[in-house]
Structure 1
Amino acid sequence: MENTFWTALAASSLAALVTATGIYTIRHFDIWGRKYSTYFVCFAAGVLISVSFLHIIPKSFEMNENAPAYLLSGFVLLHIFNRFITAFVCERGPDSLYGLGLVPMLGIGFHSFIDGFIYAITFSVSAFTGVLAASGMVLHEFPEGIITYLLLLHGGFSAKKSLILALLAASLSTPLGMLVSYPFISQIDKPSLGAMLSLSAGALVYVGATHLLPQAEKEHRKYSLFALGAGILIAVVIVLSK
């Protein structure tokens, strides 16, 4: 269990580092970051969705007979949370500091905090499950860092404050979520762990299918479909090679 803890911590810390890299990139290499972030989004979506359906969901079904209900719950709960954030943002004026900057930052921060839970859950099931989940999650952190920084900047925060808040919300919250959740997750029984794994799979499918892909489709980049296909292919190869 000690090795599992350090592996999960390393993976969540890597996610935080990738997010920080995204923030650094958009701050210092604005044109490059905007140009290629869509491809990271598409690739990450392909990996997350494929890994969820090919490995994480079947694994959770083996561990808990009620896993399908938890899978649906994970998807719906994240959708409701997203709708709440969207509605709250829309209630603010278009020039509102909170509407354009702070509220989305809190939503992303909570999402990143839950990502930390997913690292703790998946690595507690097995190292292979954890690596599969992490392979997609880490990649989607890069554009998430870019988005968080830009939202804060456009919301009226200074470049320095945007940097600090983006790092706290989108980057450091992930290993924090892992550290907070791991002591509890490592002590629960197999059916409960299967339920939590299924919940996390529902969340991963939601992030990939309704958050990342629509964002990529808005851009209509020439090779975005190839990036999505590459993500799916990588996930299939990893799962089949087990």
Structure 2
Amino acid sequence: MFATPLLATLFLTSLAAFIAALGLITVSIRSDWSQKYGPVFALIASGLLLTMVITHLAPEALAGGPLASYLMLGGFFLGLFVHDILRTLLPVADPRTLAAGLTPLIAISIHSFLDGMIYTISFSQGMDTGLYATMGLVLHEFPEAIITFALLRAAGISNRLSFILAFLAAGVTTPLGTIAMIPLAYTVDMSILSLLFAVSAGLLLFVSTGPLMAHMKAEHPIRSIPALGVGIAIALVIGTAGVGHGTHEYASDHSTEGVHVHD
């Protein structure tokens, strides 16, 4: 079907962006509803991202070696720094609310871009490897796009601009990461990409436990706890669908290249 595995990953990441757009079209029709229930969407996002970090992203990142743990910690404090800078410098009446929408946007953008790069590397190792690594890509782009849109609307951003920003952050960045990596797919040192992935995991860890989890204080437990549970459930479903980047496996395979066993 595809001339090369790299064309396959470009097709799949573009398909993920298209499905994210469909989700955004659906939710933007009820934009007032998503704005009204913004804190609930934030808690769903918190459960989703925190579960993905703990069960999937952090173990893969930390498997990259001792330096990965420090970079993940650095990613966490980078998120804290960006969030506080936004709260301080945004020239709006309520900078805290706007920062709570923009910080997850930035973190998801970075993570999705790295996703595109990592999936490209997976496909460069063969079609089967790439397909396994991208089985859950389309699934997780859909909720990420909807949640990003809802967070932006809750932050007071217009329906149109929220749609554009959410599509760019959760949809377009993944194929852009693929395009950026295609010329380097067969030569890149995957260990470097794994370390960047650790920074991304730290960023998402801050977002999920910081500005998103803060909505637990504003919402009644009758709504906040189920919302958190929905996010956790979505992440677990995505996890069983085979979301995996294969960074550790790739690095492990290449660490044995050139090693010969002598009888």
TM-score by length of 1: 0.71
CA contact (8 A) 1:71 1:198 kept: yes
Do residues 42 (structure 1) and 43 (structure 2) align? yes
Distance 2:13 2:110 in 1: 14
Give the alignment partner of residue 168 of structure 2, picking from 163, 168, 172: 172
Deviation by residue 1:192-225 (Cα, 9 ceiling, x = unmatched): 1211221221122122111222134422251321
Distance 1:168 1:204 in 2: 21
How many residue pairs get aligned? The number is 225
Which residues of structure 1 form unaligned runs of 5+?
A: 154-161
Distance 2:79 2:156 in 1: 22
- What's the secondary structure of 2:222's corresponding residue? coil
CA contact (8 A) 1:71 1:202 kept: yes
Counterpart mapping for 1:22-101 below 5 A: 22-26=27-31, 30=32, 32-34=33-35, 36-89=37-90, 92=91, 94=93
CA contact (8 A) 1:45 1:212 kept: yes
Aligned residue in 2 for 1:225:
225
Q: Tell me the CA shift for residue 132 of structure 1.
A: 5.5
CA contact (8 A) 2:116 2:176 kept: no
- The letter of the residue matching 1:193 is L
CA contact (8 A) 1:108 1:169 kept: no
Distance 2:66 2:241 in 1: 27
Q: CA RMSD in A?
A: 3.6
Q: Tell me the CA shift for residue 41 of structure 1.
A: 2.9
Counterpart mapping for 1:147-186 below 5 A: 147-149=151-153, 151-152=155-156, 162-185=158-181
Distance 1:42 1:102 in 2: 16
Change (3 A) 1:93 1:51: closer
Q: Tell me the CA shift for residue 189 of structure 1.
A: 2.0
Aligned residue in 1 for 2:146:
142
Distance 2:64 2:171 in 1: 26
TM-score by length of 2: 0.67
Which residues of structure 2 form unaligned runs of 5+?
A: 1-5, 123-129, 243-263
Q: Which has the higher helix share?
A: 1
- The letter of the residue matching 2:116 is A
